[in-house]
Structure 1
Amino acid sequence: MASTRLLLTPAAAAASLLCIGAYAQAPAPTTLPPVTVTGRSDPVVSVSGWGSTTLSETPVQASLVTSAQMKDRGVQRLADVVKSDASVSDAYNSEGYWDFIAVRGFTLDNRFNYRRDGLPINAETSIPLDNKERLEVLKGTSGMQAGTSAPGGLVNYIVKRPLAQPAYSATLGWRERNTSLAAADLSQRFGSSGAVGARLNLAYEDIEPQLRSAEGKRHLVALATDWRVTSDTLVELEGETSRRSQPSQPGFSLLGNSLPQVRDARINLNNQPWSQPVVMDANTASLRVTHKFDGWQVSLHGVTQRLRTDDRLAFPFGCSDPNPPPTGTYYPDRYCPDGTYDLYDYRSENERRRSDALEVAARGDLKLADMTHQWSIGMLQSRVQNRFGFQSYDPAGTGNVDGTLVTPPNDPRSTPNTNRDERTSELFVRDMVKLNDHLGLWLGLRHTRLKRESIQTNGSEGTSFEQLFNTPFFATSYTFAPNQMVYASWGRGTESDVVPNRPQYSNGGQALPAARSRQLEAGLKVSTANATWGFAWFDIKRPVWGDDCAPPPATSCTRILDGNAHHEGLEANAAWRDGAWNFQGSLQALRAHRHDSTTDPAVNGKRPTNVPVRTVKLQVRYDAPQLPGLSTQADLLAVSDRAALPDNSISIPGYAVTDLSLKFVQKAASTLTWRLGVDNAFDRRVWRESPHQYGHVYLYPLAPRTFRASLEVTL
């Protein structure tokens, strides 16, 4: 039987949505006059660690993206947050895989730099955004908030909770080529006093992106409930289950010593007949009990996460010539000059990751010696258990950058993987001391005790170690006018690792000294009725591990702390409103270099790969007074060049990309929100990023011009 497929053009999609909207509002006999509400919000960014203190009053830099902003900008995943903040950049973001981002030039660790309502989770999975109220990004060393983490910052997912009043919304979305989304967000309170609330989020998406050979599906079911036991006691229970199944996207690479042009951004090198989708199942639940008494608040908060992944890919890696030296050529970290590469059959199925965390905390206000103290103290216990089976990572043949060569599969499942266990206990205390109406001191300390174990799935190469360390934070702030302050801060962060227990390492299996990063930061924050602006200077030093290897033919190596990475930069941000015009922008100028490396002196003084020196992001929105409810928006991202090789000999050029969007809100018996947009409006063909991942140079192109449309109906 022949099958047919309905292909929607942008115009057809918009017309379909308009027909639906006309039908939905037909029964309404009258329309209400539009009401415009304006104001300036001063959000609380909970990941900062300072409770209910607003962002403008806190001596840290952070940004947030609300669920409404995500819809307006067409944000589908965490990687799209790079559109919102100049300090955030791509770091190996592949279609169909989990997200990697960098903050202030440092790639965040998906195992340790992510939070869900403030508690640690594993981000080695696809995390849906449909049931998230907002995303928070803390910028800078995060030792006060996390026991171990990379120094760039933290990402915190805030879950949607039941609202005070009933609210029901449904969304239909379309994205070129033919991706379709249906989602619902339902909130209701029960009982005569509304003591019990529930919020249900449902989503299903049929994924057909412009990238070829990448069709997939995903779904989400999430329920959040709360019970207002008394005016002082709140119990919150929520959980979500999701699945995403989609083939992922390998990167392109250098062709020998040359940088290729972007010929077709739609090519997917994972297009072999035996290619299978990456399947990511995620189940997460949390319970939080909060009680207030005598000006204090005590909370018990726990989260549990179960991840299951089938990680499968036709994986291009390097170039080997069948002819032996001296005529043969070997490029271990890039593709061949003629566009061919070595193709591997990679499969690691039934990966299971479990994370559990429980936090007990108290916070409140004290008055001592005519000084106000805002205290918080607590304990966090967390456990991680990762279990894997044998994997395949075996040569399958040769591929090419045109995606036209077909190779046979090679799936023996004979390569061991590594099982890991971790237990962490953290004690923390914070104190914001208000010395007078203008001067404040911010003190924080986290004490961490961790125990880690790992062993190969064949029972070999076992390692185990324990470590204790402290990560302090200190800041001082001066408020020279309402909502206007200057501040300076100093903080520590820590990363921990063990030498692989393998024969080539003379210190195999030994714990490395904790890598203690530090950050200095100074900034200015100004907030007025119609504008906010500020800047921050930061200086981060992070120790780097390296391998000190004997010259050939010897094969022995010693893993050591090998110098440091030094990132110094300036951030600036501003947002203001002038009548119907709204402007928002941010920029980052970053000077990042390696220093004091003895294992590879050639990288000293060089900037890291995939890190732009300058980034500018601008947004302009016009709220048409002639037609209330209509707004148009333009987003501009401009990025300087990025190094593709550690020695900086090859770089990808900088680029600028523009996204355009339109939103129209109709208020009748129901509220209809129409959204139309086009990403990469001028269809720029450039390399978006150049990650040096797994010891290999990869290149990812900017997605081609993509149209999108959606209709949201709210009752």
Structure 2
Amino acid sequence: MSTPNLSAHFSRPVLTLAILHAFAAPAFAANDTTEAADPQAQNMAEVVVTASKAPAAKRASVGGFADAPLLQTPASVTVISQKDMQDLQIRNLSDAVKLDASINESYNAVGYAEQFTIRGFKLDTNSSYRKDGVAIPGDTQIPLENKERIEVLKGLAGLQAGVAAPGGVIDFIVKRPTAAPLRTVTVEARERGTVYGAVDLGGRLEDTRFGYRVNVAAERLRSYIKGADGNRRFISGAFDWQISPQALLQLDADYQDKAQVTAPGFQLLSNGSLPANVSADTMLNKQPWTHPVETVTSNLGLRFQYAFNDYWHATLSANQHSFKRDDYTAYPYGCSPEGWAPVFCSNGDFSVWDFRSLGETKKPLSAQAMIQGKFATGSLRHEFTAGVSYFNRKDRAGKYVYDEVGISNIYRPVIVAPSDGVTGPVRLVRNDKEKSVFVQDIVSLAPNWKLHGGLRHINVDGYQYVLKADTEIRAKHDFLLPNVALVYNPQDNIAVYASYSQGMEHGGTADRYAENANVELTPSRSKQVELGVKADLTQDFMVAATLFQIRKGLEFNQYLDSSMSTYNFVRAGQAQHRGLELSAQGKASANLNLGASITALNSQQSGTGSADYDGKRVPNVPAFKAAVHADYAVQQVAGLSVNGSWEYAGKKAFENNNTTFVPSYSVFNLGAAWATRLAGTPAVLRATVNNVTDKFYWRDVTPEAGGYLFPGASRTLKVSAQFDF
């Protein structure tokens, strides 16, 4: 598989130069080591950037249109800070979202795109992921090296994001230039051979109006699944220019090349049982002709902020994303000797399909303009936002190869010959244009009452070119999405809220096995009611409880006969998700940092007209899930801290008709960190053991693409060292 020359050659020299620059930095900035090194630069930035006095993990912008404390946000929001990612050695989103019990994996195959559900609803890879508030695709592992924090809005985001799945949105906040010089080098190793290195550089130029932040990373990937090997290279830059005390221009760019052999999941056996006596490290994509799936992505972002006065400011932002993927997989699906149902044979045999899709590209452009201000009408005080947004999505793909080439076995792999088929030329398959106008007013009715009211109008105009049918499907839709919330503060540190919102999402797309393969259903509306209470028990410790109900049209594979070999992808009936979320986050005592997340979810299907589905649970979503992590500073040893986490998920239905359930599981993780000095350099040494009991469990049991089961990772040891120069 070919690799662009830039990708093939930049990793080692750039990483080496970055490390040398990090070591050299103290010599040229030895007297400039405090965060307040340049008061003028800080004061100038404060004129434009709206900041909160709340700690970084207690504020977010994903719940509205401005950075605000979570206590004042009438929505359920989780913030995963850079400190969390460092302390827990988090390198990808799959590890990060384990901190929130409302998030589950959904067809999250190792080596492919990371995919999730929130509150039981699958996120849309084209609209549910954001970078600094504007949409980016989630078709690959989104790099975290240049992210300051991850913000998760749970529930409908029609006002905030426009088109998005009802589960919510995940927003990645990019690191910005620092006031003081920053020179950080991180290296990591894992027991199966993964090696990782990263450099984080930041600071200001001699002319302090200009700031920079550069991140470089390289990774040799050796998964817990044998043979799911690969590599990843990443580089990014973020630059600030304080044009004047009123004007700030921010630019950022990033590039990532990831190539890794993907690891498909298992299917049920034809006798209806789960695969037994299989190992978490079993690789089903194991043929001599298997290649890594290579994905190359880049972003170019721009943001301009201008303060007219102390009360009004405007923001313009845009992002151009580029995505290219070459997909090669020996794909397991069904077992032709026993028919064409999406199950493996009872003895573990399965059909091997040669799947090749080359040159798939996406180049979405996102742009947004807002004006925000504060004013009063009589005794009422207003925080007003009005804006417009634009999203243009262009997808290109070629006709793929998908041929059955033989039979293998989950216990005894068999080598088979590849297909002699060839892929077709790449052409435009989708072109969507989404235009939005939105407005929000937060009205202070009284000292302890606020009314949040917002409205977004969305116009979607585009077409889809279905490769299988060679037909063009045009669509034009308009949606008006309201959002209203009432917030009451009985005390300064307590907030109680009630909200109602509507959302809009693109319809799901039929998989390649359906009779209506590749066809996308029409957009649909969802509705949510939410009640919540939040409290800052101390300045550093917050608790929250949320009750919610979400309703949307149910999409599923409707089988056409008892053999389950043919089906259509349809929308019929309704999915209703009612849940309770409990959370606690922050410094519980002088030595203890605690995070806890608990979700109880009642998901139910109704109105489908089929007794097989009505009244049944939505698949791949546990009725109860918990995630707890704690970090304790050991006072007897300076710089030493120990940490542990526990993840629990109840049993999950595998199919829409709830015939098969996978059992519940608990996973325990342990770690330690030691902050010290090595050769006079500040360093943090970390070690973590995930899944300490080496428990086998099914982490992801999606009905997608005929239904697949993915095992969780076996016990894994990882060690890292972080140096700050």
Are 2:326 and 1:310 equivalent residues in the alignment? yes
CA distance in 1, matches of 2:280, 2:647: 19
User: Once the 2 structures are TM-superposed, how far is the Cα of residue 274 of structure 1 from its aligned partner?
Assistant: 0.5
Tell me how far 1:561 sits from its aligned partner.
4.2
Asked if residue 94 in structure 1 is aligned to residue 109 in structure 2, the reply is: yes
Contact persistence 2:496–2:534 (CA under 8 A)? yes
Give the CA deviation at 1:648. Answer: 1.3
Instruction: Report the more deviating stretch, 574-583 or 48-57.
Output: 574-583
Determine the structure 1 residue equivalent to 2:604. 593
Separation in structure 2 between the aligned mates of residue 670 and residue 374 of structure 1, nearest angstrom = 47
How many residues are aligned here? 667
Counterpart in the other structure of 1:401: 410
Partner of 1:145: helix, strand, or coil? helix
Selected match of 1:69 from 84, 89, 108? 84
AA in 1 matched with 2:588: R
Q: CA deviation at 1:509?
A: 12
Offset at residue 262 of structure 1 (A) = 4.8
- Whether the 8 Å CA contact 2:250–2:304 is kept in 1: the answer is yes
2:292 to 277, 294, 314: 277
CA drift of 1:51 comes to: 0.8
Cα separation, 2, equivalents of 1:245 and 1:367: 55
The 1:350/1:513 distance shift into structure 2, 3 A limit, reads: closer
Identity %: 30
Match of 1:107 among 122, 129, 134: 122
Q: Distance in 1 between matches of 2:113 and 2:568?
A: 32
Cα distance change on mapping 1:267 and 1:109 into 2, 3 Å = same
- Pick closer, same or farther for the CA change 1:277–1:449 going to 2, 3 Å: same
Stretch of structure 1 that moved more, 290-299 or 44-53: 44-53
Question: Hey, what does 2:688 align to over in structure 1?
Answer: 677
2:204 counterpart residue number = 189
How far residue 52 of structure 1 moved from its aligned partner, in angstroms, is 2.6
Residue number in structure 2 paired with 1:300: 316
Residue of structure 2 aligned with 1:261, choices 276, 285, 289? 276
Q: Deviations over 1:663-686 (max 9, x none)?
A: 111157431011111110111112
- Counterpart contact for 1:81–1:88, Cα < 8 Å: no
CA distance in 2, matches of 1:505, 1:697: 16
In structure 2, relative to structure 1, the CA distance for the partners of 1:557 and 1:395 (3 Å cut) is closer
> Which of 214, 219, 237 is 1:200 aligned to?
214
The letter of the residue matching 2:358 is E
SS at match of 1:394: strand
Residue 168 of structure 1: how far off its partner (Å): 0.5
Matching residue within 556, 562, 580 for 2:572: 562
Residue in 1 that maps onto 2:177: 162
Matched, 1:581 2:597: no
The answer (yes or no) to whether the contact 2:57–2:81 under 8 Å persists in 1 is: no
| 8 Å CA contact 1:580, 1:624 repeated in 2 | yes
Within 2, Cα distance between the matches of 1:478 and 1:128?
Answer: 38
CA distance in 1, matches of 2:119, 2:379: 39
Q: Contact 2:267–2:333 at 8 Å: present in 1 too?
A: no
| Alignment-derived partner of residue 553 in structure 2 | 543
Match for residue 259 of structure 2 among 242, 245, 257: 245
More moved, 445-454 vs 69-78: 69-78
Q: What residue in structure 2 maps to residue 14 of structure 1?
A: none
**1:266-289 residue CA offsets vs partner (Å, 9 max, x unmatched):** 111111000000000001110111
Residue aligning to 1:649: 659
Letter in 1 for 2:339: Y
Secondary structure of the equivalent of 2:638?
coil
Q: Which ranges of structure 2 fall in alignment gaps of 5 or more residues?
A: 1-22, 28-53
CA distance in 2: counterparts of 1:443 and 1:423, whole angstroms: 26
Within-5 A mapping of 1:98-247: 98-192=113-207, 194-247=208-261
1:474-529: per-residue Cα shift (whole Å, max 9, x none)?
10010011121110000001123499899x999x9999664111000001101022
Instruction: After superposition, give the CA deviation of every residue in 1:10-34 in whole Å (9 maximum; x if it has no partner).
Output: xxxxxxxxxxxxx99xx9xxxxxxx
Pairing 1:333–2:348 present:
no
Q: Structure 1's 212 and 510: CA in aligned 2 closer, same or farther, altered over 3 A? A: closer
Secondary structure, in 3 states, of the residue corresponding to 1:462?
strand
Report deviation, 1:458: 8.1
Partner of 1:692: 703
Measure how far apart 1:157 and its partner are.
Answer: 0.9
From 343, 357, 364, the counterpart of 2:373: 364
Residue pair 1:262, 1:686 contacting (<8 A) in 2 also = no
Measure, in 1, the Cα distance between the counterparts of 2:503 and 2:113: 25
Distance across 2 between alignment mates of 1:217 and 1:83:
24
Indicate whether 1:460 and 2:474 are aligned.
no
Aligned CA distance change for structure 1 residues 279 and 510 (closer, same or farther; 3 Å): closer
**Deviation, structure 1 residue 697:** 2.1
1:39-94 per-residue CA deviation (whole Å, 9 max, x = no partner) reads 96663211112413211111000101122211222222111123211111111211
Contact in 1 for aligned 2:557/2:568 (Cα 8 Å): yes
Aligned position for 1:16: none
Q: CA offsets per residue over residues 194-242 of structure 1, 9 Å max, x none? A: 1101111000111122311112111001011110111111000110111
Per-residue deviation, 1:411: 4.3
CA distance in 2, matches of 1:470, 1:115: 21
- The answer (yes or no) to whether the contact 1:317–1:344 under 8 Å persists in 2 is yes
The CA deviation at 1:308 is 0.6
Q: RMSD between aligned alpha carbons? A: 2.7
In structure 2, give the amino acid aligned to 1:672: A
For 1:410-455, what per-residue CA distance to the aligned partner results, in whole angstroms no more than 9, with x for missing partners?
A: 1413679871110110111111111111111011111000112122
**Displacement after TM superposition at 1:609 (Å):** 1.3
1:370-401, Cα deviation, whole Å (9 max, x unpaired): 11111111000110101111211111111111
Paired position in structure 1 for 2:672? 662
**Distance change >3 Å, CA 300–CA 306, structure 1 → 2:** same
2:386 match? 377
Which one-letter code corresponds to 1:680 in the other structure?
N
Structure 1: stretches of 5+ with no match in the other structure: 1-22, 28-38, 322-328
Residues 644, 652 of structure 1: 8 Å contact kept: yes
Match of 2:313, as an amino acid? Answer: Q
> How many Å apart are 1:297 and its aligned residue?
1.2
Equivalent residues of 1:391, 1:416 under 8 A apart: no
Distance, in Å, in 1 between the alignment partners of 2:146 and 2:711 is 29
